[in-house]
Structures are given as C-alpha cells and as structure tokens.
C-alpha cells in the first residue's frame, strides 16, 4: 500500500514527509484554495523540491473544456516538470483530454470518480491513476468498496497498467477499507495519518514500557548500557 499526502500545505508536507513513508503529493483547486493566493508554480515547485523526483506529484487542471485542460497540462509540465501527473476530472471534456495526453505520453491521474463507468472509461483511455472519491461516494449512499473492488478486478483481468489512487477520506477506517477492496494507493490529509498514531492507548503502552524500564535501570537507556 502506498500513502500520498492530499495537501498543498508546505509546512505539513515538510514535516510529515520526514516522518511517514510517503509516495507522493496530490492536490486539487479546493486544496490549493486553503493556502490562499499563492504563487502557484513557485509553490508546486517547492513541493517537488521537498519530495524529490522519485515521488509522484499530482496537479489538477482548472480549465473546464478539453482544449483548456490540454493548455493547463502543457503549462504545468513546462513550469514544474515533465514527470508531474496531470489530474483531470472524468467528465466528457476530461476523458477526451485524458486520451489526448496519454497519446502524448503524459502522466495522467483521472479524478472526481464516483462510478464504475467513470473509472473503467478512464482506464481504457490509458490513465495511470484513477482516483475514486471514497467519502463523497459514502455521502451519496454509494458503495465505494464495491466500486474499488470492481476496478481492481478489471485491472487484474485485463492487465490494465492503471493504479487505483483512492481519495476523499475522512478517517483511517475508510482508508483501510479502500486498501482491502483493492486500492494500491490512497491519498489523505496528514491529519488522518497523525490520528492513526497519536492515540491515548498507544501513548499509554509507551508510557508503561518506559516506567517499567526506568523502575530497573533508571534514566540509563539501552544505548548507554
Ligand atoms: C484528491 O486529490 C481528491 O481531490 C480529494 O481527496 C477530494 O477530497 P474531498 O472529498 O475531501 O474534497
């Protein structure tokens, strides 16, 4: 399983990239909005310099029509770098843009996926990643596990090169279920990773071990023995 950070916050990316085994960074215009009116390309380049070129950086287009999406993609690839995964929402305009970008050999992440058909079409169009929106599906009464499992089944059955990048999470349980359903990767707000490891019962276990050790050896650590 791979974990990506779904944020454009530089401080968080710096801090959590050092701590967690992170495979990349994703954002979308709503996530970018949280950072205010940033110098967009300088900011994206800073994210790249933090994570390096061996991790994946996914940047979403903002144009609403195919021609505009292709222009956005071109600008992103020029102003950031050629390895960026261009995130494109899977609608009528987006699927056409995905087909075109893949014919040019550009890395593509198909996003805003709520249905099997959207994901399957994006796979067939050659998307490198498909991003099903887990929490948003749940909010709509859809079954994200079933949809993700179908994607995983089709990828295995027909040997698609597409990877499932599950997105839109609100808690660790959703992330675990997405992985078990067959998503190889998940992008999530760092707060979900932090919450997974900062729990009172974990702190208590660590405190108990510490107290037991110190009751015998005092402040002397194993390294100091
Ligand atoms: C990925 O980048 C998606 O755009 C994102 O996870 C959507 O999350 P949300 O449903 O919390 O807006």
Domains, the chain, ordered by start? 2-197 (3.20.20.70)
The residues, any chain, with a CB within 8 Å of residue 141's CB and separated by 6 or more, are none
Active site residue 87: yes
Asked if residue 169 lies in contact with residue 192, where contact means CB atoms within 8 angstroms, the answer is: yes
User: pLDDT tens digit string along 125-138?
Assistant: 999 999 999 999 99
Percent of the chain with pLDDT over 70: 100
User: pLDDT tens digit string along 32-91?
Assistant: 999 999 999 999 999 999 999 999 999 999 999 999 999 999 999 999 999 999 999 999
Phi-psi region of 222 (alpha: psi -120 to 50; beta: other; left: phi over 0): alpha
Asked if residue 1 lies in contact with residue 184, where contact means CB atoms within 8 angstroms, the answer is: yes
Retrieve residue 118's tokens.
């959207």
Helix, strand, coil percentages, rounded to 5, for the chain: 55, 20, 30
pLDDT of res. 50: 98
Ligand 1 contact, 162 CB (< 6 A): no
Asked if residue 102 lies in contact with residue 145, where contact means CB atoms within 8 angstroms, the answer is: no
Strand-pair partners of 166: 186
Retrieve residue 101's tokens.
């970008």
Ligand 1 contact, 43 CB (< 6 A): no
Closest-lying ligand 1 atom to the alpha carbon of residue 189: 6
Q: What are phi and psi of 114, to 5 degrees?
A: -120, -10
pTM: 0.96
Ligand 1 contact, 185 CB (< 6 A): no
Q: How far apart are CA 131 and CA 162, in angstroms?
A: 10
User: pLDDT tens digit string along 84-120?
Assistant: 999 999 999 999 999 999 999 999 999 999 999 999 9
Ligand 1 contact, 133 CB (< 6 A): yes
Burial of 11 (0-12, 13-18, 19+ CB in 10 A): exposed
Q: What are phi and psi of 8, to 5 degrees?
A: -115, 15
Pick the residue whose CA is nearest to atom 6 on ligand 1: 168
DSSP string for 155-210: HHHHT---EEEEB--SSHHHHHHHHHHT-SEEEE-HHHHHHHH--HHHHHHHHHHH
Pick the residue whose CA is nearest to atom 8 on ligand 1: 168
User: pLDDT tens digit string along 156-178?
Assistant: 999 999 999 999 999 999 999 99
User: pLDDT tens digit string along 1-27?
Assistant: 999 999 999 999 999 999 999 999 999
pLDDT of res. 115: 98
Residue of 7, 24, 28 to mutate, ligand 1, most atoms within 8 A of C-beta:
28
């Amino acid at each position: 399983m791979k974990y990506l950070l779904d944020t454009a916050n530089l401080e968080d990316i710096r801090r959590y990239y050092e701590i967690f085994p992170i495979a990349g960074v994703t954002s979308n215009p709503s996530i970018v909005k949280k950072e205010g009116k940033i110098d967009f390309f300088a900011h994206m380049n800073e994210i790249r310099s933090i994570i390096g070129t061996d991790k994946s950086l996914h940047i979403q287009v903002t144009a609403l029509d195919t021609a505009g999406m292709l222009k956005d993609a071109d600008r992103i690839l020029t102003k950031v770098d050629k390895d960026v995964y261009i995130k494109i929402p899977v609608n009528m305009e987006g699927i056409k843009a995905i087909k075109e970008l893949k014919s040019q050999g550009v890395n593509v992440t198909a996003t805003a996926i709520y249905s099997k058909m959207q994901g399957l079409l994006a796979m067939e169009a050659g998307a490198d990643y498909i991003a099903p929106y887990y929490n948003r599906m749940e909010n709509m009464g859809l079954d994200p596990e079933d949809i993700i499992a179908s994607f995983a089944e089709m990828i295995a059955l027909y040997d698609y090169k597409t990877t499932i990048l599950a997105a839109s999470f609100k808690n660790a349980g959703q992330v675990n279920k997405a992985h078990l359903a067959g998503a190889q990767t998940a992008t999530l707000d760092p707060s979900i990773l932090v919450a997974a490891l900062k729990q009172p019962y974990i702190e208590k276990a660590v405190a108990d071990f510490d107290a037991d050790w110190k009751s015998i050896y005092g402040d002397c650590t194993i390294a100091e023995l």
